[in-house]
Amino acid sequence: MTQALDECLSPKQIRRDADSLQHWGVDWTRSFPVAPSAVVFPDSTDDVVRLVQLANREGLSLVPSGGRTGLSGGAVASDGEVVVSFDRMDRVLGFEPADRLVTCQAGVVTQALQAYAAEQGLFYPVDFASSGSSQIGGNIATNAGGIKVIRYGLTRDWVAGLRVVTGSGALIDCNHGLIKNATGYDLRHLFVGSEGTLGFIVEADIRLTTPPEPQLVMVLGVNRFRDVLAVLGCFQNALTLTAFEFFSELALQKVTAHRGLARPLAGEAPFYALLEFDESAVELAAEAFEACLAEGWVQDGVLSQSQAQAANLWQLREGISESIAGYTPYKNDLAVRISQMPDFLDEVDALVQESYPDFEVCWYGHIGDGNLHLNILKPQGLAAEAFFQRCHEISPRIFERVAFRNGSISAEHGVGLLKRDFLSYSRSSEELAVMEALKQVLDPGQIMNPGKLLRR
Ligand code: 2HG
Ligand code: ZN
């Protein structure tokens, strides 16, 4: 059936060999089957429009594919779909200094966008460990967050305009890079976080900003999780934070072992907070640190003395996910309001400890955003299937705690295949009905990333 692809693309834009299917058919999840029927590489918006028209005619399912760094299976092709890779649509199309807007194709890699912004004397602040391979289209489709959300917000906040090919093949141009535009429904925001289920994001106008001062990094050893929140409040009252991240002692052990890094402090603490802030705020930060020490919240701390040391301290946080990947972890990406975090972490930690006294539980996350990453590590020798089955037994109980606190079962990693069947813990049946109706309007042929986010 995919022979029809040859009608609308050139041979060099289509791959069907086993290695390519495996490579482009998967994201960073490893728990779903990978079985696409072809991978295609459009060069232009016209190619995408033709592909969508063809898919509707021939009944092909299309899976949009960016840097494939997702953690929820949103870009996995498990059922004979055609993967549509944006690797060839990777050009910066223009920059308008007066608007501080850069226009990119969807396949521009995040780090390339950051570098381009720096060349213009400006700054693109959305940043995460995968910025070397994630693409701007995927970031928009998942409303990617990352490590500077506390100061700069999420990807959504930087999208000023969006060109989209909907599932019915219509090309729509949303918001035109305007700041003010009170003309009704802002369709741009419908596509941000839509996980490729409504259409293909082909181009975006991205806002840039003034670069910050050089940043300092502080790592603090904290006595109790509750105190991490007290430390956050104390620093936030004193200065503007660019980041406020957290990790547990176990997470620190894993990342230092994996990357051969030095421990940040002389002693061990149950939890660590990593803070980033403007160099000019150093005295305010020192005062806040003294206050936290006096309260007994913090036991020790280190402040970066150079850019190289700051980068090394960041590795302690950014390297965690990669350092535990070899344990085939069971992952959760949860959000509650910041005020609810201590009680929530206590509840979920107790639940996990009681259910799996034999498993290692690794906590880290973006505390400043109310976002916790829970990773349960598979013991060596236990088969992956048996491990995931055991973990899934308590998923509903974790999600009940999330629902009780009106939290989110996916703070920043998206729903994809991984969380799809649990969406009702975070979205009401009325909301789900609206989402399904929107899907029907924009993708009536159900060709766009079927089975992701919504069941159909
Ligand atoms: C992070 O914050 C990423 O490091 C990955 O969102 C989180 O691997 C994870 O669970
Ligand atoms: Zn994260």
DSSP labels for 380-414?
Answer: TTS-HHHHHHHHHHHHHHHHHHHHHTT-BSBSSS-
Ligand located closest to 376 CA: 1
**pLDDT tier, 126 (very low <50, low <70, confident <90, very high otherwise):** very high
Structure token digits, residue 326: 């070899």
Q: What pLDDT shows up at residue 30?
A: 82
Average pLDDT over residues 380-397: 92
Average pLDDT, the chain: 96
The reported pTM is 0.96
Residue 124: name the closest of 98, 150, 153, 96 by CA.
153
**pLDDT tier, 1 (very low <50, low <70, confident <90, very high otherwise):** low
Residues within a 6 A CB radius of ligand 1:
71, 129, 320-321, 331, 373, 375
Q: What pLDDT shows up at residue 3?
A: 87
Q: Return the ligand 1 atom nearest residue 320 CA.
A: 4
Ligand located closest to 371 CA: 2
Name the residue at shortest CA distance from atom 1 of ligand 1.
321
> Are the C-beta atoms of residues 329 and 378 closer than 8 Å to each other?
yes
Q: Return the ligand 1 atom nearest residue 332 CA.
A: 10
User: At residue 262, what is the residue type?
Assistant: A
Residue 400 has pLDDT above 70, yes or no: yes
Q: Cα(60) to centroid of ligand 1, in Å?
A: 33
**pLDDT tier, 2 (very low <50, low <70, confident <90, very high otherwise):** confident
For 8, left (φ over 0), alpha (ψ -120 to 50), or beta?
alpha
Q: Cα(371) to centroid of ligand 1, in Å?
A: 10
> Which of these ranges, 65-79, 175-189, 381-395, has the smallest mean pLDDT?
381-395
Q: Cα(97) to centroid of ligand 2, in Å?
A: 31
Residue 31 has pLDDT above 90, yes or no: no
Task: Establish how many alpha carbons lie within 13 A of residue 379's alpha carbon, considering only the half-sphere containing its beta carbon.
Answer: 10
Choose which residue among 364, 374, 391 to substitute to test ligand 1 binding: the one with the highest number of ligand atoms within 8 A of its C-beta: 364
Q: Tell me: the pLDDT tens digits for 42-59?
A: 999 999 999 999 999 999
Q: What pLDDT shows up at residue 7?
A: 86
Q: Cα(170) to centroid of ligand 2, in Å?
A: 34
Name the residue at shortest CA distance from atom 10 of ligand 1.
373
**pLDDT tier, 116 (very low <50, low <70, confident <90, very high otherwise):** very high
% pLDDT > 90, the chain: 96
Name the residue at shortest CA distance from atom 8 of ligand 1.
321
Residue 319: C-alpha distances to residues 128, 160, 297 (Å)? 11, 31, 25
